Amino acid sequence: MSLIQISKVLLFMFISLSIISLGCTETSNKENNQEIQQVKLENKQMTQPYYEYDPPKGFLNIDKTYLATIQTSQPEGEIVIELFGKIAPIYVENFINLSKAGFYDNSSFHRVIPGFMAQAGTKDGKGGGPGYQFNDFFHPDMKHDSAGIVSMANAGLNTNSSQFFITYAPTPFLDPYDESGNPKACGSPGVSCHAVFGKVMKGMNIVDKITPINPGENIVPTKIIKIEIHDPIKMN
């Protein structure tokens, strides 16, 4: 075989190997891309939960004063709450939205500690939430300074959702500001900050009779039949 023939054979082999290698590379890249897209899709599905209820958007009319009536059973009665829209608009909007949507219907007071507070606000009283959380926006006038204060329950800073509690006594250690009016180090270990958004105006005698209970206890709790939102002018 001549030198020219050998060169042609080698060139043919080189081109053939290059085509095979290129084909393998394209197949490999295509498979990798498919895997990446699948991972992205799975991540997207994991990080975008389905929201059954809409979070507050800051649309509350703060020039109005709103009242809420909690209808209860065991004991049967009504708890009327004035909502503090001027100092806690995002929290009041959240409470109004969930109440009007029926989120609290047939739920219960699931944690009730005599002398401290009565907590409610899980879906059907079984621990479920609305599918979202929102950040804190504290105000110096948010003070747990008496019985009947209505405040947001949370699991730490910026974890507000649907749960709330009513106090049985002053609990200033839950205030977001200290006695001098300075913001507390909310979010630090051992520091509790909760947003006051209302106060019981009528029916504290019903609050006092709410059944003491801890989550999971085999006790019939006090039920929230529903929560109605009223314009105070219509209440008279």
Catalytic residue among 67, 83, 103, 154: 154
Q: Is 111 a catalytic residue?
A: yes
Q: Is 174 a catalytic residue?
A: yes
DSSP class of residue 134 equals B
Distance of CA 176 to the CA centre of its chain: 19
188 in helix, strand or coil? coil
Catalytic residue among 60, 111, 160, 164: 111
Catalytic residue among 144, 163, 194, 197: 194
Evaluate whether 160 touches 152 at the Cβ level (below 8 Å): yes
Evaluate whether 137 touches 59 at the Cβ level (below 8 Å): no
Catalytic residue among 60, 110, 174, 197: 174
Q: Is 12 a catalytic residue?
A: no
- HSE-CB at 71 with a 13 A cutoff on CA atoms is 9
Q: Is 94 a catalytic residue?
A: no
Catalytic residue among 103, 164, 165, 197: 165
Cis peptide before 232 (omega within 30 of 0): no
Q: Is 165 a catalytic residue?
A: yes
> CA 198 to CA 81: how far, in whole Å?
6
Overall size of the chain counted in residues: 236
| Contact partners, residue 69, CB within 8 Å, separation at least 6 | 78, 79, 80, 81, 227, 228, 230
91 in helix, strand or coil? helix
198 strand-pairing partners: 83, 150
Catalytic residue among 94, 97, 119, 160: 119
Are β-strands 107-113 and 77-83 bridged in parallel, bridged antiparallel, or unpaired? unpaired
Helices within the chain (DSSP H only): 3-47, 89-100, 204-207, 232-235
Q: Is 194 a catalytic residue?
A: yes
Q: Is 236 a catalytic residue?
A: no
Catalytic residue among 38, 116, 173, 205: 116
List the catalytic residues: 111, 116, 119, 154, 165, 174, 194
